[in-house]
Amino acid sequence: MIREEIEVKNEIGMHIRAAIEFTRQANKFESEVRLFKDGIWVPGKSIISVLTLGLPNKSRVILEVSGEDEVECFKTLKAILETEKL
């Protein structure tokens, strides 16, 4: 199980494309994916949950991944959350 606090550099709550990308990638893996913010855990494979979570730029969220392919999964999802390269 990998759990890490990540600073979001990608306005995932603000745009479809980012939420779709995160969810789509999450669904490609076997592992369980959860996001924790403001006192609640939401399933990372659920587009509606990710979209409504609201992850504005510079917010902090805990990403937790557990399963057989957790290493690859975590890496991929973390990258999406941190995609802004400036």
Partner 1 sequence: MKERILRGIPISSGVGIGKIYIYQRKLPPVEERVIPEARLEEEISSFRSALSSVEGELNLMYQKVREEMGADIAEFIKFQILLLKDKTILEGVEKIIREKKRDAAFAYHQVIKDYISPMLSSPVPFMRDRIIDIMDLAERILLSLLGRTKDSLLSLSEEVILFAHNLAPTDVAMIDKRFVKGVAVESGGKSGHVAIMTKAREIPAVNGIPNLLSQARAGFTAIVDGNRGVIILNPNEKRLGQYRREMEEERRRRASYSRKKEEEPITRDGKYIDLSANIEFIGEVEMAKEYGAKGIGLFRTEYIFLSRRRLPTEEEQLFFYQEVSSKMKPYPVIIRTFDLGGDKIIPGYSETNPFLGWRGIRVGLQKKDFLITQIRAILKASAQNKNLKIMFPMITGIEEIQACRVILNSVKEELKEKRVPFDPAIEFGIMVETPACALLAEKFAKICSFFSIGSNDLIQYTLACARDNEKVAHLYDPFHPAVIRLYKETIDAARKNGIWVGVCGELASEPLGIILLVGLGIDELSMVPHRIPVAKEIIRSLEFTRLQDTIKKILTLSTGSGVKRFLVGEVKENFPKLSAIFG
Q: Which residues contact 51 (CB under 8 A, 6 or more apart)?
A: 13, 16, 19
Q: Does residue 15 have an active-site annotation? A: yes
CB-nearer residue toward partner 1: 63 or 81: 81
CB atoms within 10 A of CB 5: 9
Q: In the set 6, 11, 25, 37, which binds partner 1 (CB under 8 A)?
A: 11
**What are 43's strand-pairing partners?**
34
- Only one residue has tokens 């587009």, namely 47
Kindly indicate which of the ranges 9-17, 28-36, 61-69, 70-78 contains the residues binding partner 1, using the contact rule CB under 8 A.
Answer: 9-17
Residues in the site for partner 1, rule: CB under 8 A?
9-11, 13-20, 23-24, 43, 45-49, 51-52, 54, 57, 83-86
